[in-house]
Structure 1
């Protein structure tokens, strides 16, 4: 068995533990009403272009991410709700951590994304279509909230290329589904360490939590720098439903979306659910999955500088569980792209 795909997850669990384990290790100093009102959580998200429709196995073809969310924290370096190794790491990343806010929490995630051209049957280099690419990432995130505003900062580090195990994962999934395997993975991007430093700011209107039927809107703007991706972006999300959550968005693709932002007060009892629609526009300076390797010559395409997403979905919550299903439509990302990308996302979340 090849153990490389499991190394980031094993490292994450070794260094930080799960939020439940972190709280359990400090029973005298971590807990009480604050922990009950703002418990840790774990999210698992799957993206796939097959959710977008028939014959959509192309572009951003598949992704998966496992995310651990801390409870609301006193601070990032001394709070006993974080295990000692996580506090040690945070002391070395203090410049990334915002200050002067009412509430704050931390996330840690590991994930993988796969990118392929349209024609799965060609084993040669498809020069007029996007490169084959697998991306494996570990992500540290810091969220800070004051009233109806949120600032999120995230640092992602990982690998693109054969070591990201894109071919192996896609072949395994296609074998289970009895689908044809893509033949051109030998042309994928070369191994390269990657990083991305991302920051977004969000604002929610209205700021109060709805006890019955209600709506809200969340704006966002920010950007990212790194050899993985460099861009500036902005957009928004609107939601309508029963007992809207007191957070900053339900889109699983947003950096502080889907049950990861600090909350105020306990979750309301019984069933709750809502519809949401989201937009995002990006001015892209670099995208390694389109521009190719940074330090080696290889396959690339002429990317478009302006890219937009429109998404819509539904979220349901009861007790400790939350489910979200979304679908996204993206504008063409490079010159000569035959179809506009369409993909879906499913997220399951549980507070601990």
Structure 2
């Protein structure tokens, strides 16, 4: 509900024309995407326990003043604009304990908006994405209320440690990602290289990785979104997998906020793993302007004494 309310605040912008840039044409892509992730798909209930995103891509978002803070990309690249509202929640291994589990993951929840700009170059088969991220971490995100309500409805154990979660603090960050096609075979296999860096009060990291797609699909760089849901016709069906390595500089869900030091419990910097692997794999089914995706994600241990963790994710995208 909070994601929808925040998105509705942007609706007045959608009726106005976007500023023209003759050197960088504007993408006509219009789409809405919802993502739901939960580790319950693997019958676990700890670490990253639940997340949701709501993404709007629309050319009118080019009117937002934040476009001046986002890199424009090379001349001739097609510009796409969007905003993602993101909610994620984290817990320790045992949510039934009504005390601080020293050495375990802290309770944490955040909610933020990621205002992004894509610079897509189909001829060079590459894309630059930059994003400004603004929001907050802490009880105001509603993690305690949401998880408690879901567990009561489903008859699961009620979480008892949310009173020790990381306290309210602002999130401010900037993220840049670059994608480049490495090889393509017979229009049914694509391998891409990815690099990404984030500097902010929530996450600071540098990452590099690979994305593999195999099946029947439109080329990844055929439009500014990468799935071509805004203009494609017919069927697409393919599998995809990613592998990424991250060098971690800061993780506020483990270390607390940079702006305050009154959190009931956080991990020491020496306990945070500075090298983390992440991977995912799933299938995508698309027809005309609708796209469905089911995937599983995995992350290596993020702090000393932690376990690796996995969760499931469902995505639906609709173009309009």
Q: TM-score, normalised by structure 1?
A: 0.80
> Per-residue deviation at 1:261?
4.1
Name the counterpart of 1:275. 239
**What do residues 124-171 of structure 1 show as CA deviations (whole Å, max 9, x unaligned)?**
111110110010111101000123010000111111111111111111
Output the CA distance in 1 between the equivalents of 2:10 and 2:208.
34
Secondary structure, in 3 states, of the residue corresponding to 1:82? helix
- Structure 1 residues 284-310: Cα deviation after superposition (integer angstroms, max 9, x where no partner): 010000112322143222110000012
For 1:226-237, list aligned pairs within 5 A: 226-237=200-211
What's the CA shift for 1:173?
1.6
Q: Is the 8 A contact 1:38 1:263 kept in 2?
A: no
Paired with 2:154 and 2:85, the residues of 1 have a C-alpha distance of 24
State the distance in 2 between where 1:333 and 1:136 align.
21
Alignment match, 1:312: 281
Separation in 1, partners of 2:229, 2:146: 39
> How far off is 1:264 after superposition?
11
Cα distance per residue 1:252-306 (max 9 Å; x no partner): xxxx9xx834859941x32210011101110001000011232214322211000
The 1:16/1:205 distance shift into structure 2, 3 A limit, reads farther
Which position in structure 2 is the counterpart of 1:13?
Answer: 8
SS in structure 2 opposite 1:66?
A: strand
Q: Deviations over 1:33-67 (max 9, x none)?
A: x99x954010000011112x12x211110000110
Q: Structure 2: how far apart are the matches of 1:14 and 1:209?
A: 44
The counterpart of 1:42, out of the listed 32, 35, 51, is: 32
> Counterpart of 1:330?
299
**Any conservation in 2 of the 1:276–1:314 contact (CA below 8 Å)?**
yes
The alpha carbon displacement at 1:109 in A equals 1.5
The aligned runs of 1:1-352 (5 Å cut-off) are 6=2, 9-17=4-12, 22=14, 38-51=28-41, 53-54=42-43, 56-70=44-58, 81-82=59-60, 87=63, 89-90=64-65, 92-99=66-73, 100-146=75-121, 147=123, 148-206=125-183, 210=187, 214-242=188-216, 244-247=217-220, 260-261=225-226, 266-267=231-232, 269-294=233-258, 295-298=260-263, 299-301=265-267, 302-337=271-306, 339-352=307-320
Q: What per-residue deviation string (whole Å, max 9, x for no partner) do you get for residues 189-220 of structure 1?
A: 0110112210011102447993xxx1101111
Query: More strand per residue: 1 or 2?
Result: 2
Cα separation, partners in 2 of 1:95 and 1:111, compared to 1, 3 Å: closer
Per-residue deviation, 1:186? 0.3
Give the whole-Å Cα distance in 2 for the aligned partners of 1:39 and 1:187.
43
Q: Which ranges in structure 1 are unaligned for 5 or more consecutive residues? A: 71-80, 250-255
> Which secondary structure state, in structure 2, belongs to the residue aligned with residue 307 of structure 1?
strand
Distance, in Å, in 2 between the alignment partners of 1:135 and 1:260 is: 25
For residue 103 of structure 1, report the CA deviation from its aligned partner.
0.9
Cα deviation, residue 181, structure 1: 1.5
Q: Distance in 2 between matches of 1:336 and 1:277?
A: 28
Q: How many residues align?
A: 306
Q: Contact conserved, 2:184 with 2:191, CA < 8 A, in 1?
A: no
Instruction: Give CA deviations for 1:97-127 in whole Å, capped at 9, x if unaligned.
Output: 3142421101112121000001111111111
